[in-house]
Amino acid sequence: MNFCRTESLIDTVTHYCPGCGHGIIHRLVAEVLDELGVREKTIATAPVGCAVLFYNYMKCDIIECAHGRSPAVATAIKRLLPENVVFTYQGDGDLAAIGMAETIHAANRGENITVIFVNNAIYGMTGGQMAPTTLLGQMSTTTEAGRGNNQEGPPIKVCELLSMLDGVTYLERVAVNDAKNVIKTKKAIRKGFLNQIEGRGFSMVEVLSMCPTDWKVSPLKAAEFVNIDMKSVFPLGVYKDEDGQ
């Protein structure tokens, strides 16, 4: 095999910390856009969070959205420009906290968009505060003794939550903690985009990702944390597939 930087991924250094999963996921999305040949008609939305500079790394049109409003903005774009491929790229703070209403309603309406949801169980950009997806017992700057079941409540499982909605077409949870899972993640992202291109409706791919800096561990320990701790709370797999394949 040959392996070179794909065309849709801008040839530049990212601002992400060493071992952050965003770089991997950016590359996978870019590769899928190139393989499907849809880069020229793709419009993405950038979130607020660590990936706020998403538009600096991808060679497609990208709109920066107010915090959490990506699914609403993507809805508008897709309805006005149905021939274009529209996807949102969101973190757990953007999608599952401030943007939960937009997420649920866009999913329930069955908007024909693709959502890439990066779950790293913490607020990265703002310095490691608790996110809706922070694990029980996991320490953050706002849960110094660890997230408590009685105090902060258990983590929100977005795939499970959205799987109950009739409008949703495809939900899969994947991870980028090792190469095998990275390859699976690309397949899931590809399916998410294909669903949209073929007009099947709302697709979301949740990607469990590493945040070594705010977890305060080494990149290798962070990959291990995803593999053992996160996967036990957020099991990988397909949560909904209306296409049935």
Partner 1 sequence: MADIQIDIERCKGCGLCVLQCGHGCLKMSEDTNESGNTYAMINGSKDKCTGCGLCCQMCPDVAISICNEKTNTKKNKS
CB of 1 to partner 1, least distance (A): 5
The span from the CA of 50 to the CA of 180, in Å, is 25
- Choose among 188, 223, 221: nearest CA to 116: 188
The span from the CA of 98 to the CA of 84, in Å, is 27
The span from the CA of 79 to the CA of 71, in Å, is 12
Phi, psi of 9 (to 5 degrees): -95, 115
CB of 183 to partner 1, least distance (A): 6
| Placement of tokens 């999963």 in the chain | 21
Nearer of residues 25 and 73 to partner 1, judged by Cβ: 25
Q: Describe the strand order of the beta sheet including 237-241 as a list of residue ranges.
A: 61-64, 42-46, 85-91, 114-119, 202-208, 168-175, 237-241
The span from the CA of 18 to the CA of 213, in Å, is 8
Nearer of residues 40 and 178 to partner 1, judged by Cβ: 178
CB of 59 to partner 1, least distance (A): 14
Nearer of residues 107 and 189 to partner 1, judged by Cβ: 189
CB of 224 to partner 1, least distance (A): 9
| Placement of tokens 């906290």 in the chain | 97
CB of 55 to partner 1, least distance (A): 18
Q: Which residues bind partner 1 (CB under 8 A)?
A: 1-5, 9, 13-14, 16-24, 27, 178-179, 182-183, 212, 218-220, 223
| CA atoms within 13 Å, Cβ hemisphere of 197 | 14
The span from the CA of 223 to the CA of 102, in Å, is 30
Helices (H), ranges, 81-199? 92-93, 100-109, 158-162, 179-197
CB of 130 to partner 1, least distance (A): 24
CB of 25 to partner 1, least distance (A): 9
Nearer of residues 121 and 182 to partner 1, judged by Cβ: 182
